Each structure stands twice: as C-alpha cells, then as structure tokens.
Amino acid sequence: MANFSNDLPCAPAFIEGFSKRVLVRVARNSGWVGDDARTTKEALVLYIHRKGMDVGQFKAYAEQPESPGNGGNSPGGDNSQGDQPGDSPAPGDQPGDQPGDQPGEQGEQGEQGEQGEQAKADAAEAEADAEQAEADAEQAKADAEAQAKAEGDNSPEAEEARLERALEALKRQRRERARQELEQARKEREEKREQEKQKQEKREQEKQDRKDSENSAPLRHPVFGKVKALVEAGVNVLLVGPAGTGKTTLAHHVAQDLGREFGAIHCSAGMSESHLLGYLLPLGDNGQFTFTPATFARLYGTDNSLFLMDELDAADANTLLVMNGALANGALHIPQNPLAPSIQRGKNSSTMAAANTFGSGGDYTYAGRAPLDAATTDRYYAVYVDYDARVEARMAGAAMPKVKTWKAHKLDAATVQAECERYLAWVTAVRAAVTKLGLHRVVSTRWVQKGVAAMRAGITPADVRVDMLASWTNDERARVDATISHEVK
C-alpha cells in the first residue's frame, strides 16, 4: 500500500460535491475509526477511494445511519486495519499540506556557497517538471476524451472512472502549483543575486574612485598602455599632442614601469649633433682630448634604457638626421670618436620622441616648430596624446571623471597573421593611391614594419590604419579612401 501521506490529495474542488459530514458517514460506515474533528476532507476522500468503493456502494454507505465508529457494521471493516487515516500523522503535519515545504522556499535560505548546488537541483527539478507537465498534458487529454465518451453514462464503472479522473486532476493541479512556486522562487533568487552583483560592482567602483582621488601617486595617462606595448615591441613612439597633455610625464612612466634607465633631451633649433652623440673634451692626461658620449649615445648602447627626444619638432631637421640610421638599425655611428666609431644598440634600448605637431611645421600656436624630414617622422609610430581629465580633476580637487583607458586587443595568432596580410594589401593600395593622386606623402616599408609590430602588440587593425594616417589632412585621407578599392579597406 502506498504511503498515505504521500498520496494525500489536496482536493477542494472535488469535495465541493460532498459535505464532510457525508464523507465521514461513508468512511465510518466502511470501517474507519479515526477522529473526524482532526481529519481533512482529502484524507476521507482518499480513504474512501482506497476502499475500492463504486458509486453504488458509496451511496449505500452514505444513506446508512452513521456507525458508532468501531467499524462493526461495515462490510469492509474487518480488513481495514492499518488503512485508517487515524494511523497517519495528523493532516496538519503532513508535508504535502505545508506551503513551507515547497522547494522554492527552501531556496530562500541558499547561501553563496550553496548556489551552485541549488542551481543544479533547480535544473534537475525543472527538467522533471517539464517531463511531468508533458505527461500531465497527455493524461488531461486522455481524460477529456474518456469524459466525453462517458458523458451521460451513469453506470457504477463510469462513476468510478469519473472519481478517478477527478483525483488525478487534483494531483496535477497541485503539481502545477508546486512548479509555479518553484519557478517564482528561482526567479526571485536570480534577481536577488543580480542585485547583489551590481551592488558589489558599485562598491568596488566607489572604492577605486576614492583611491584615485585620495592617492597622490601620478595617474597613468589613458594611452599609457598603448605606448608601453609599442615600446616593449621595439617600436619608436612619437607622442603628439598639445602642450601640457602629459607627454613628458608619460615617457617617464613608461621607463619606470619597464624598469628602464631614463634620459631625455629638450630639442631646440640650436641643438647640435654633439648634443646627441658626444664631445671630444680635453679631459685626458696632459689635456688629451677624450670622447665623452652624450646621454643619447650612452643610453643607446645601454641595455634596458629609454631615451626621450622631447620637443622633437623644435629641433633642426638636419641635426636629427644623424640619429636616423641609429633608430632604424642596430648601431650608432660617431665619427668624432675614432677609437670607437660606432656603438651597438643595447638590448631593450628604446627611443621615444614628443612633439606638439606631426612634424608638419609651425602654426599660429606653435610658431617655433620646423617641418620635420619625412625620413625622421617615418621612423616613429605616432600616438596622439590628449588632455587627461582625471589629472585636471585631481588638481582641482574635483570628483574623478571616468575615462576610457587603452586596453590591448587580444587576437589569436592565426587571426593576427590574417590581419597582417590584409594590412599589407591596404598599405600597397594606399601607396598606389598616393602616386596616382600626386600627394606629397611617404608610404614606406616602415609602415608595414611598425604597423605589423603594433598589431602584434595588441593595437586593433582599424586603429593601426587610423594611426598611420594621423598626420594627414582630412582631404588627403578622403581622397585616398575614395581611390582604394573596398576589399582592401
């Protein structure tokens, strides 16, 4: 026999047709000796159903006067032991009657660590629910068909079948309710989790903002990551931007971060080759002239170093040509030092430059700037440096604004390779367009060299193309763009 409490139907709809008094009478007359004050209608229905009564018997028991409760006048009374609801837990104690037993409510107690388990249990339960719902739907369909057939049939068998169907329908109703409650509880848990996550993110952001504004350590410029990645990739970087945007500071930060020895020269029109290469000075024994390398030359031969040509566009373009060979190749030639006429480039020795213009010459704002030789600018990868709103906010003691900092673009090796090939096709097309349009622009092999290195360092292929054309006028860009074919863009 099935466990009484597990099978107990919750049957308000079904019981509507029979008063509890009638049900008690039927039950008593069929041998039940339980306490009718403590017994529910559902328990009585189940008991009656278990007795295997057909409708005729049901009516007969209902019409009899109620038995004294010893089951003595019931035909089935002698075999009803152990079947009695009175043997079962009181209905109020039965798990099926307790809303608190719904799985959804148990989930409310779920702590962080249990959430994974809970999610698994939920998923299993949801699957079981879905299967059950499907079975229920089929059953409901079969029942409806049977009911339609039996409509008007008053035989005891048909009555019995109707009773059976009514019980089944109630069980389905109850399962459906439990499923809905489970679903609801699951939704609430997910919402709660999401809210918690958002709160946590907000707290962390606030903490970071507070740190940023309280901290007196220098802020890294938003393009710091990009410049550092390029320097690490062995690319000469030219920082271009208005005065005071933090270019010199940025170069310092890169050297600091990479653990490189830092040196700089402030270029000017009066700067000579010796300022870059070195001097023969009478510092030797008996006033002998000995070669003293300048900072650039010294750092060029030093491992883990970074040299900044600051205000590059203030220098005489011709003076800068002495370093062109050194920038592209692995050696710096110093004719002034016959004893050691060349210096080999050290490992991880980089050169950076900073300028207010792209080397196109002075304008109203930067009057003293000379046009730079294309052979010089071509050796650098230009990165535009704009004002950093956070630095200014900190100076003013204002709230820290949010700024977008550069992040490396991670691509797998095969994609980078494909992008490099597409980029090469683009460079070739741009070069052809420059020739065709008669533009005074150099599209050199260095475009390929520095562009490919930049993509491998995490700069997006689109950004690399923008960076290559940064010093061009809008008109030049538009004309070239209109000339090259769509496939290579």
Residue 218 DSSP class: P
* Residue 391 binds: one of Mg ion, ligand ADP, none (C-beta under 5 to 8 A by kind): ligand ADP
Using CB under 6 A, pick the residue from 247, 431, 441, 446 that binds ligand ADP: 247
Contacts (CB under 5 A) with Mg ion, residues 229-248: 248
CB of 310 to ligand ADP, least distance (A): 7
Contacts (CB under 6 A) with ligand ADP, residues 53-72: none
Is there binding between residue 360 and Mg ion (CB under 5 A)?
A: no
**Look-up: residue for tokens 């690490």?**
232
Give CA torsion, residues 197, 199, 204, 208, to 10 deg.
140
* Residue 246 binds: one of ligand ADP, Mg ion, none (C-beta under 5 to 8 A by kind): ligand ADP
- Asked if residue 233 lies in contact with residue 454, where contact means CB atoms within 8 angstroms, the answer is yes
Cα–Cα distance for residue pair 452/464, rounded to 1 Å? 9
Residue 429: alpha-carbon gap to chain centroid? 37
**Which C-beta is closer to ligand ADP: that of 233 or that of 355?**
355
**Which C-beta is closer to ligand ADP: that of 178 or that of 229?**
229
Residue 139 token pair: 């059953």
CB of 443 to ligand ADP, least distance (A): 28
Site map 352..391 versus ligand ADP, x via CB under 6 A: --x------------------------------------x
Give CA torsion, residues 183, 188, 194, 195, to 10 deg.
170
Which residues contact residue 178 at a Cβ distance below 8 angstroms, ignoring those fewer than 6 apart?
A: 102, 103
CB of 358 to ligand ADP, least distance (A): 15
Cα–Cα distance for residue pair 210/205, rounded to 1 Å? 9
3-state class (DSSP) for residue 417: helix
CB of 248 to Mg ion, least distance (A): 3
Number of residues engaging ligand ADP in binding (CB under 6 A): 12
CB of 297 to ligand ADP, least distance (A): 23
3-state class (DSSP) for residue 180: helix
CB of 241 to ligand ADP, least distance (A): 6
**Which C-beta is closer to ligand ADP: that of 236 or that of 249?**
249
Is there binding between residue 219 and ligand ADP (CB under 6 A)?
A: yes
Using CB under 6 A, pick the residue from 94, 245, 319, 377 that binds ligand ADP: 245
Cα–Cα distance for residue pair 442/434, rounded to 1 Å? 8
Q: Is the dihedral of CA 234, 232, 382, 217 positive or negative?
A: negative
* Residue 218 binds: one of Mg ion, ligand ADP, none (C-beta under 5 to 8 A by kind): ligand ADP
Tell me which residue has its CB nearest to ligand ADP: 246
Cα–Cα distance for residue pair 450/182, rounded to 1 Å? 59
Is there binding between residue 225 and ligand ADP (CB under 6 A)?
A: no
How far CA 97 is from CA of 6, 38, 93, in Å, comes to: 10, 14, 7
* Residue 480 binds: one of ligand ADP, Mg ion, none (C-beta under 5 to 8 A by kind): none
Which residues on adjacent β-strands are paired with residue 467? none
Residue 279 DSSP class: E
Is there binding between residue 64 and Mg ion (CB under 5 A)?
A: no
Number of residues engaging Mg ion in binding (CB under 5 A): 1
Using CB under 6 A, pick the residue from 51, 179, 221, 450 that binds ligand ADP: 221
Which residues on adjacent β-strands are paired with residue 308? 264, 352
Cα–Cα distance for residue pair 45/47, rounded to 1 Å? 5
Is there binding between residue 246 and ligand ADP (CB under 6 A)?
A: yes
Rg of the chain (C-alpha set) = 44
Q: How many CB atoms lie within 10 A of CB 360?
A: 14
CB of 312 to ligand ADP, least distance (A): 12
Which residues contact residue 397 at a Cβ distance below 8 angstroms, ignoring those fewer than 6 apart?
A: none
**Which C-beta is closer to ligand ADP: that of 218 or that of 371?**
218
Of 29-37, 215-223, 288-296, 299-307, the segment contacting ligand ADP by CB under 6 A is 215-223
Contact footprint for Mg ion (CB under 5 A): 248
Contact footprint for ligand ADP (CB under 6 A): 218-219, 221, 243-249, 354, 391
